[in-house]
Structures are given as structure tokens and as C-alpha cells.
Amino acid sequence: MLYPPIEPFASGMLALDGLHSMYWEQCGQPQGYPLLYLHGGPGDGCVPACRQLFDPAFYRAVLFDQRGSGRSSPRGELRDNSTAHLVADIERLREQLGIERWLVFGGSWGSTLALAYAQAHPERVSGLILRGIFLGERREIDWFLHGMGQFFPEEWQRFVAPIPEAERGDLLAAYYRRLTDPDPAVHLPACRAWGRYEGACVALRPNADAAERAGSEYVALSLARLEAHYFVNRVFLPEGALLAGLARIRHIPAAIVQGRYDVVCPPATALRLAQAWPQAHYELVEAAGHSLWEPGILEALLRQLERFRDA
């Protein structure tokens, strides 16, 4: 069960550099157990419901919108936006809030960023709860552009429809040109088509709201532009870097929660991570897709949060 809706006890905007400012908030116990929530995408941003994952009597939950996402500004901004920037932003926020170490909770792209952050600053991470694993490797990006459409062919047809046949040999490049076009009449329809495609694929049970939200102008502007930007740049990591870096975090208590029917981030990736990291708890949720809000996924994540709370 989710905890009741809750308002932050503190929030603010943190100026990161001359261009980006980041929205952050804290919920629960000011002296509680520090926890960091990392949203997906990249570019998704946090929603208030994310706050309800964390026991407000125990956790000091810190949530923030990654640069270019959600309430951070400027939304959809690709300049000075890379994995290294986001890792540095997390450290900046940790220092600003006076937190020594924290439990890091991330799904999908949030799992990618959680692994990158933990491998860069293992001494700052007291635990990891990861969901819907995305390692940012070439095969996963190819899957996003072509594999997902095998399960949602009608959505994939809608996704490719705006792209002329002659450009369909490289869908990522074709979309990237349109997503980064300065004319809103060009980039906004491309953003919405990309967001809707992804949103339509996140749930095992039909979830029109997810497609609607991800395809909305507000979310899609940052989600589509940032995802395409990170995909074109191979998430700014060498191929295989996060698996190669496991030696730095093997000792950190960790849980991996994965949906069997996750069409966005298929379980093959989660299994590669789990087999390379046998110390981590691995839980495959049979009747679930990608979204953290799927019943089986949510239940498993809440159980892992209780496990860390009661440890």
C-alpha cells in the first residue's frame, strides 16, 4: 500500500551553473533515514505520487527533477546535460542538504543513473533499490526503437508514420533531427509522438493514462528530447561500463526488481546485472510490465523499502 499523499517539508531550486537550475524537495522525517529518488527517462521528472512510496515516519525522502526535466529549468535543455552532469548534481544536492549517505532508489533510467552515481561515489550510498533495469547499452537502445514495436505494433506504426520512408533506416537520427529542431511546429509533434510511443509500452495491463501523460506536451518535451540526446550519445558511458564497474559497489546492500513482461526494459538486461552481481537481491515479478505503478512491481518495491527500514 502507498502511504497517504504528503507535501514536502522543504523544497527549492538549486542553481547548478549559468544555465540549469534544479527543483528538489524533501518529504517525511527531517532527521529520518536519507533516501534519494531518481526518476526515469531521462527527462521524465517526478510526480507527487512518488512521495507516497516512502514511509514518512522513517525516511527523509529527497526527490528532484534532473536537469532539463519537470520543474527544473530550462525544461528540455540539452546543453550541459550528460550523465556526468547528473552525477555531479546529485553530489551538489547531497552536500547542500548536509546528507552523509543515502539509500538510492531508481527505476528504468533512474536505475542507470543510480548505478552510475553509486560507482562514482560508493562511500555515499547506503543501499540501492533498482527497478526495470536499463544499462544504456546499444542493444537496449536498438530495442527501444525497434523491439518494443513487436509487442505494440500499432503504436510503433504511429511512431514511425511522421518519418519519411527514406529516413526510416536510422529512426534515432531522424527523430533527433526533429526533436532538436528550433521550430516548435517541428519538435513538439515529434516529442509527443515519441512520448506517446514509450508511454503506451510501459504497462502490462492497458494504461491509457501512462500514454496520455508521456505524450503530453509538458512531459514529452523533456522526455523525448533528453532520451534521444542520451541515446545518440550512448548515455555518455562506454559500452558495458556499468557492468564493468560493479566491483566498486558489490558490497552495497542492493535489490533489483524487474517485471517479466517489461517491454521497455526487457528482463534479459536485469538478469545480466543480477548474474554479474550475485550479492544483490533479484526479484522477477511474473505478472508485471515496466511501470513502478504496476501492482506486482509496487508491492515488491514497498517490501524492499520496508526491508531496508527494518534492517
Ligand X SMILES: CNCC(=O)c1nnc(C(C)(C)C)o1
The binding site for ligand X (CB under 6 A) comprises 40-41, 44, 108-109, 134, 144, 198-199, 202, 214, 223, 227, 264, 290
Which three three-digit cell numbers place residue 311? 534492517
Q: For the CB of residue 219, give the shortest distance to ligand X in the complex, in Å.
A: 7
Q: How far is the CB of 136 from ligand X (least distance, A)?
A: 8
Between 34 and 141, whose beta carbon lies closer to ligand X? 141
Q: Is the peptide bond before 74 cis (omega within 30 degrees of 0)?
A: yes
Q: Can you tell me the distance from the alpha carbon of 264 to that of 200, in angstroms, rounded to the nearest whole number?
A: 10
Catalytic residue among 44, 65, 89, 262: 262
Complex with ligand X: residue 223 or 274, whichever CB lies closer: 223
Nearest approach, Cβ of 92 to ligand X (angstroms)?
A: 22
Q: Establish whether 121 is a catalytic residue.
A: no
Given the residues 69, 108, 111, 291, the one annotated as active site? 108
Nearer to ligand X, 32 or 292 (CB): 292
221 exposed, middle or buried (CB, 10 Å; 0-12, 13-18, 19+)?
buried
CB of residue 77 vs ligand X: minimum separation in angstroms? 18
Catalytic residue, chosen from 20, 187, 229, 290, is 290
The closest alpha carbon to 91, from 120, 61, 50, 70, belongs to: 120
- Would residue 21 show up in a list of annotated catalytic residues for this protein? no
Q: Which is nearer to ligand X, 23 or 33 (CB)?
A: 23
- Is 55 a residue of the active site? no
Q: Residue 90: beta bridge partners? A: none
**Residues assigned a catalytic role:** 108, 262, 290
